[in-house]
Amino acid sequence: MFKILKKEYLTSGIFLMDVEAPKVAKAAEPGQFLIVRVDEKGERIPLTICDYDKVAGTVTIVVQVVGLSTQLMDQLKVGDYFKSVAGPLGMPSELKEMSVEELHSKKIVFIAGGVGTAPVYAQVKWLHEQGIKADVIIGAKNASQLILVEAMRKVSGNIYIATDDGSAGFKGLVTNCLEDLVTNQHKQYDLAITIGPMIMMKFLSELTRKLNLKTIASLNTLMVDGTGMCGACRVTVGGVTRFACVEGPEFDAHQVNFDEAMRRQTMYRTEERSQNALTPDHICRLDKIVERRNK
Amino acid sequence: MKKTPRTPVRELAPSYRITNFEEVSLGYNGEEAMLEASRCLECKKPMCVDGCPVSISIPNFIHHIKAGDFKSAAEVIAQASALPAVCGRVCPQETQCEGRCILGVKQEPVSIGKLERFIGDWSRENDITPETTITPNGLKVAVIGSGPAGLACAGDLARMGYEVTIFEALHKPGGVLEYGIPSFRLPKETVVRHEIGNIVKMGVKIENNVVIGRTLTIDQLFNEEAFNAVFIGSGAGLPKFMGIPGENLNGVQSSNEFLTRTNLMEAHHDDTDTPLKLGKVVAVIGGGNVAMDAARTARRLGAEVHIVYRRSKAELPARAEEVHHAVEEGIIFDILTNPIEIIGHESGWVKSLKCVKMELGEPDASGRRAPQVIAGSEFTLDVETVIMALGTSPNPLITSTTKGLELNRRRCILIEEETGRTSRDGVYAGGDAVTGAATVILAMGAGRKAAKAIDQFLKNQAIE
Ligand SMILES: Cc1cc2nc3c(=O)[nH]c(=O)nc-3n(C[C@H](O)[C@H](O)[C@H](O)COP(=O)(O)OP(=O)(O)OC[C@H]3O[C@@H](n4cnc5c(N)ncnc54)[C@H](O)[C@@H]3O)c2cc1C
Ligand SMILES: Cc1cc2nc3c(=O)[nH]c(=O)nc-3n(C[C@H](O)[C@H](O)[C@H](O)COP(=O)(O)OP(=O)(O)OC[C@H]3O[C@@H](n4cnc5c(N)ncnc54)[C@H](O)[C@@H]3O)c2cc1C
Ligand code: SF4
Ligand code: SF4
Ligand code: FES
């Protein structure tokens, strides 16, 4: 169980994996995530389910290497195993609740940032299977950081690329790109769905509020159990505390307190560690990789 | 009647134990157990038994300890309890068995819990597992959750010949025994995993990483996985918060998060990956077992720890032994104190806790004296971490994904008291999922009761 069947690098720091997890694959729906542990000592890491094959019993994850656990994952090869994979977790995408007629009547635009392109792909592909073509804006720092552009092209309507340096597509941020589409090119949308870095989703939702465009954001909060037991994932939505792992991860973006969510997300970031913390585990976090690699 | 004092139990010294997670109470050896057992009067109408939620035949097992026949004592306990090494350690004995012991009127009650623990430990050390011959009956039962309710239910059903699978959401079995109660009170490797091992030996299958309501629904358990009955022992894992300003600041966490990081994920060990961040001064809000566990864990990680509790010391709902140990370990008790706001630094991290002083008013309907705010008593406590240990309620994950499962007003699963039967045919429930946060022994008792009822139900079905 939980064997890695395929591994492919999409950029130098982002890889895709197909993992054997028949129970998860069987129940998976767009918008949900899973939790993996690399080994016996590993932490519980939430990752979006980017694709699934119910017949083969596999799920696809796309991982960006950022810190200890994602680096340990990066070292796993085809044929290796995850210690555990639990899921699917979270609520399926709101799209799943709409009837096909309702979906057909809507003009939908997705706004993806960085590794968030992968989970967006899952939803766009699902819509495509229902006979619906959604527009997609993909943002990245530069051309070399773009992922899944060709795959996306096959299942989407119009596709727009935005890079910070203009090395591909539109020069600027995804927000500039969307604003341009709506105000200058008079595109009309009824629903926006955004997945990407918290800061991007924040500014995007500020823009869509102005544009009066309903927006759903998928939040990558801190998580421990992913089953509603610890509250590490809590976010304020419409003034109410919600648990992203069971009530989310998707919420009405215009109701989300992004400033709080961004602040909470940095809680365990090494460089943000308070001077006074009793547990200075930034000292050993890097050593661990070396140690584990030697095993 | 000669007054013989209770046989004291050996414990680690407070100054040593706050440096590690070793078990604090060392328990009795055979000699000490026999000495303590000799205090029991073996009452004809034993009051102690009335105080035990599973009615262990207390004078009977103590009788065997007196004679040094520990094996027979183990057999007596096994008739009523599957987890003596656990319950002997964690039951609130002072309000249960020992609270009713007749000796307690004039002197100290018999140390029933410590004696039970001794028998549990002795059985383990001497490899005594209750003998059972199991004849499989070909019927399948699914148990949701591997806490004490699920384990007890699964064990009994396996003994009756059912093919039992436990589905557990987390990656380790045990429920609160694994993720909640710290090892200095309940050793994991020796006690918890051994007891779980015994249940696995009886043929119970445990499937971790399966979240019922997400990975599989109860309907699928019946229709696709061909289970004949289902027991829900999913506990009460949803943490409560106070709803005061500042609760989502960085550095505020639920006791479940803190204890899960330390117990389940072993975040305080250097060789594990889960991070843990704790300030030098920690406030734990609440006064129950969970608050004591969080406080004593934080103390062991080097913090100055305050318990902030709005009633007086006499009302602390935690086990007496835990409060006593917490005091010995230097936990500061800020009683009759209620937090009203958490104040943050500009960075968004906790800076201090704004509190008011309380006084106890007239007894309310429940007989408890309700705390009231003393006007003008506001003050702030400088802390870096705040841990909310305010209790938990059942997680709606299962009930919201299962049609026809009725709940009560407190969103607990509604059951028929005697059998654990829910409003869904073939679905039974017990433990914290039914009662809200309660105790290990009540959960275990409920699991066993349901096992009996499930057996009856499936036998009747076979006849029909
Ligand atoms: C619902 C959900 C879906 C996600 N989907 C994906 C995905 O498809 N692909 C992907 O690459 N990443 C995804 N993430 C983010 C991913 O979980 C983090 O990048 C990962 O936890 C970082 O761990 P680390 O040890 O490598 O980093 P470190 O920086 O060393 O982590 C330190 C601590 O912070 C936590 N943490 C750090 N960054 C994040 C973050 N962005 N979100 C949540 N926790 C974080 C870690 O769990 C760890 O406890 C998702 C997160 C959530 C909550
Ligand atoms: C910190 C702490 C200290 C305590 N101290 C004491 C004490 O000293 N004495 C005492 O008697 N009691 C104590 N208690 C209370 C006691 O632990 C509980 O009453 C008891 O564990 C309840 O047992 P249970 O089997 O009903 O549920 P739990 O022990 O909560 O187990 C439920 C299990 O079900 C799993 N689960 C939940 N939902 C799902 C799902 N959808 N699918 C699959 N699995 C699921 C959970 O992951 C968990 O493993 C304490 C509790 C805590 C939190
Ligand atoms: S199970 Fe608990 S209440 Fe019953 S005798 Fe043992 S310690 Fe006392
Ligand atoms: S009430 Fe006390 S003295 Fe009497 S049987 Fe029970 S433990 Fe022994
Ligand atoms: S991650 Fe623990 S409650 Fe959401």
The reply to whether B134 falls in a domain is no
- pLDDT computed for residue B131 by the predictor: 66
| Contact with chain A for residue B346, Cβ under 8 A | no
Note whether B279 contacts A24, CB cutoff 8 Å. Answer: no
Residue nearest to atom 34 of ligand 1 (CA): A268
| Same-domain status, B254 and B386 | yes
Minimum distance, in Å, between the CA of residue A170 and any CA atom of chain B: 35
| Same-domain status, B447 and B350 | no
The reply to whether A288 falls in a domain is no
The reply to whether B131 falls in a domain is no
| Same-domain status, A105 and A169 | yes
Structural domain range at position B423: 140-237+393-463
| Same-domain status, A250 and A125 | yes
The reply to whether A275 falls in a domain is no
- pLDDT computed for residue A292 by the predictor: 60
| Contact with chain A for residue B349, Cβ under 8 A | yes
- Furthest-apart CA atoms within chain B: distance in Å: 71
| Same-domain status, B121 and B41 | yes
Residue nearest to atom 2 of ligand 3 (CA): B91
The reply to whether B115 falls in a domain is yes
CATH number, residue A16: 2.40.30.10
Could you report how far apart the first and last alpha carbons of chain A are, in Å? 22
Ligand 3 centroid–CA A80 distance in Å is: 47
Q: Chain A contacts of B260, Cβ < 8 Å? A: 224-225, 229-230
- B281-311 confidence digits (pLDDT tens): 999 999 999 999 999 999 999 999 999 999 9
pLDDT (mean) for B2-6: 80
| Contact with chain A for residue B440, Cβ under 8 A | no
Domain stops at, among B390, B405, B434: B390
The reply to whether B410 falls in a domain is yes
Minimum distance, in Å, between the CA of residue A182 and any CA atom of chain B: 36
* Facing A228 at nearest CB: one of B208, B237, B265: B237
Place of tokens 């045990």: B174
- pLDDT computed for residue A279 by the predictor: 45
DSSP H or E run through B442: helix B440-463
Note whether A274 contacts B348, CB cutoff 8 Å. Answer: no
| Same-domain status, A136 and A200 | yes
Minimum distance, in Å, between the CA of residue B447 and any CA atom of chain A: 22
| Same-domain status, B417 and B451 | yes
The reply to whether A202 falls in a domain is yes
CATH number, residue B111: 1.10.1060.10
Domain stops at, among A59, A89, A119: A89
- pLDDT computed for residue B362 by the predictor: 84
| Same-domain status, A131 and A178 | yes
The reply to whether A34 falls in a domain is yes
| Same-domain status, B386 and B246 | yes
Domain stops at, among A89, A109, A140: A89
Domain stops at, among B390, B409, B424: B390
| Same-domain status, A67 and A172 | no
* Facing B261 at nearest CB: one of A224, A273, A274: A224
The reply to whether B100 falls in a domain is yes
Beta bridge partners of B206: B166
- pLDDT computed for residue A281 by the predictor: 45
- B406-464 confidence digits (pLDDT tens): 999 888 999 999 999 999 999 999 999 999 999 999 999 999 999 999 999 999 988 87
Chain B CA closest to residue A67: B273
The reply to whether B1 falls in a domain is no
- pLDDT computed for residue A271 by the predictor: 43
Minimum distance, in Å, between the CA of residue B27 and any CA atom of chain A: 31
| Same-domain status, B379 and B419 | no
**Low-confidence residues in chain A, pLDDT < 50:** 271-283
| Same-domain status, A21 and A131 | no
Q: Tell me: pLDDT of B95 over 70.
A: yes
| Same-domain status, A121 and A187 | yes
Instruction: Tell me how far apart the alpha carbons of residues B205 and B195 are, in angstroms, rounded to a whole number.
Output: 14
| Same-domain status, A72 and A180 | no
- pLDDT computed for residue A291 by the predictor: 63
Asked whether B407 lines ligand 4 (CB < 6 A), one says no
Beta bridge partners of A240: A237
Share of chain B above pLDDT 70, in %: 99
Ligand 5 atom nearest residue A226's Cα: 1
| Same-domain status, A163 and A195 | yes
Domain stops at, among B357, B390, B423: B390
Cβ neighbours for B421, distance < 8 A, ≥ 6 positions apart = B415, B427, B428, B453, B457
| Same-domain status, B374 and B397 | no
The reply to whether A282 falls in a domain is no
* Facing B215 at nearest CB: one of A23, A83, A284: A23
| Same-domain status, B245 and B380 | yes
Instruction: Read off the pLDDT band of B365 (50, 70, 90).
Output: confident
| Same-domain status, B363 and B252 | yes
- B38-90 confidence digits (pLDDT tens): 999 999 999 999 999 999 999 999 999 999 999 999 999 988 888 899 999 99
The reply to whether B130 falls in a domain is no
The reply to whether A273 falls in a domain is no
For chain B, the C-alpha Rg in angstroms (whole number) is 23
Indicate the number of domains in chain B: 3
Work out the mean pLDDT of chain B and round it to a whole number. 94
Q: Chain B contacts of A267, Cβ < 8 Å? A: 250-251, 277
- B436 secondary structure, DSSP code: S
| Same-domain status, B289 and B408 | no
Indicate the number of domains in chain A: 2
Beta bridge partners of B307: B284, B333
Residue nearest to atom 49 of ligand 2 (CA): B175
Chain B CA closest to residue A37: B171
Angle ∠(A45,A50,A54) on CA atoms, nearest 5: 105
| Same-domain status, B221 and B81 | no
**Residue A105: Cβ-neighbour burial (10 angstroms; 0-12, 13-18, 19+):** exposed
- Furthest-apart CA atoms within chain A: distance in Å: 58
Asked whether A43 lines ligand 5 (CB < 6 A), one says no
Ligand 2 atom nearest residue B211's Cα: 42
Minimum distance, in Å, between the CA of residue A126 and any CA atom of chain B: 19
Domain stops at, among A41, A72, A89: A89
Instruction: Tell me how far apart the alpha carbons of residues B70 and B65 are, in angstroms, rounded to a whole number.
Output: 6
Q: Give CA separation, B449 vs A287, B11, B54, in Å.
A: 51, 36, 10
| Same-domain status, A77 and A103 | no
Instruction: Tell me how far apart the alpha carbons of residues B447 and B434 are, in angstroms, rounded to a whole number.
Output: 11
Structural domain range at position A150: 94-265
Note whether B247 contacts A72, CB cutoff 8 Å. Answer: no
CA-wise closest residue to B11 among B28, B30, B29, B24: B24
Q: Tell me: pLDDT of B193 over 60.
A: yes
Ligand 1 centroid–CA B227 distance in Å is: 37
CATH number, residue B426: 3.50.50.60
* Facing B273 at nearest CB: one of A228, A232, A288: A288
The reply to whether A281 falls in a domain is no
The reply to whether A18 falls in a domain is yes
Buried b (16+ CB within 10 A) or exposed e, A282-291: eeebeebbee
Residue nearest to atom 3 of ligand 5 (CA): A228
The reply to whether B135 falls in a domain is no
Instruction: Among A49, A229, A291, pick the best mutation site for testing chain B contact (most B Cβ within 10 A).
Output: A229
Sort strands A14-20 and A4-11 into parallel, antiparallel or unpaired.
antiparallel
Ligand 1 centroid–CA A46 distance in Å is: 6
Q: Tell me: pLDDT of B145 over 90.
A: yes
| Same-domain status, A39 and A144 | no
| Same-domain status, A46 and A163 | no
| Contact with chain A for residue B395, Cβ under 8 A | yes
CATH number, residue A117: 3.40.50.80
Q: Give the per-residue SS3 of A206-258.
A: HHHHHCCCCEEEECCCCCCCCCCCCCCCEEEECCEEEEHHHHCCEEEHHHECH
| Same-domain status, B225 and B275 | no
Ligand 5 centroid–CA A229 distance in Å is: 5
Q: Chain A contacts of B171, Cβ < 8 Å? A: 37, 44, 83-84, 86
pLDDT (mean) for B256-273: 92
Note whether B395 contacts A227, CB cutoff 8 Å. Answer: yes
